[in-house]
Amino acid sequence: MPSALAWKPAMVTKPKRRAPRVTKCGFQVEKTTNDPMFGQQWGLKNTTLVGADIAATAAWDYATGGRKTVVAVIDTGVDYTHPDLAANIWSAPRSYTFNGASGTVTCPAGSHGVNAIASTCTPMDDNGHGTHCAGIIGANGDNTSGVAGVNWTASILPLKFLSNNGSGNLSDALRAMDAVVQIKKQFPAEANIRVVSASWGFVGNSQALDT
């Protein structure tokens, strides 16, 4: 039987307090966003407990993201049609290939990633967790809709290996990881994958997964 994998929440640590931002002219107002649900995103800006966030608004004074770096999200897939994500989903400028369960799979230009379970080019999310992770990374920000990502502008590459119940097989996980490497090799300029989001846990031992 293949080993099972499933996503699990990250551990929460005690936040550190940070000093107020001061410039030569005095205090500076931090950049914010007009997304209606931003007030609920306490991880980005916590107005109740000072320091219990990642200081996103302070960082946004300097940058709000970009498309030069691609973030691969290996998860339950991503809803690449979501109105708060569609603009920030990676799209292949030409066809590409990856190693599927039964051989080489060719994806046409305009495809957005890989479904390692079905060996297809449609990594649509049927669980919600992968879309949630993608939204944290790069939901379109300051667009008067939904939430804001840490990066308002991003390039997200979805790879699906977890099913609609949040579990999956080791072989599919490794196939998704291999697809990341293959896509980066085929698109050295257009798919500059520098970060991989893998928000799930593994039950068992795997030398292949460790390496």
pLDDT in tens, 6-49: 444 444 344 444 444 544 455 566 889 999 999 999 999 999 99
Sign of CA dihedral 71, 73, 74, 80: negative
DSSP letter for 204, please: S
Residue 96: CB atoms within 10 Å: 22
List the structure tokens of 16.
């550190």
pLDDT band at 51 (very low <50, low <70, confident <90, very high): confident
SS3 call for 25? coil
| DSSP secondary structure code for residue 105 in this structure | E
CA distances from 200 to 8, 130, 144, 190 (A): 5, 10, 31, 27
> What letter represents residue 149's amino acid?
G
Length of the chain (residues): 211
Report the range of poorest mean pLDDT among 23-32, 71-80, 202-211: 23-32
**Three-state secondary-structure class, residue 153:** strand
In what helix (H) or strand (E) does residue 197 lie, and over which residues does it extend? strand 193-197
Task: Please state the rounded mean pLDDT for residues 45-64.
Answer: 94
Instruction: Give residue 28's pLDDT.
Output: 60
Helix, coil or strand: residue 87 = helix
CB atoms within 10 A of CB 3: 15
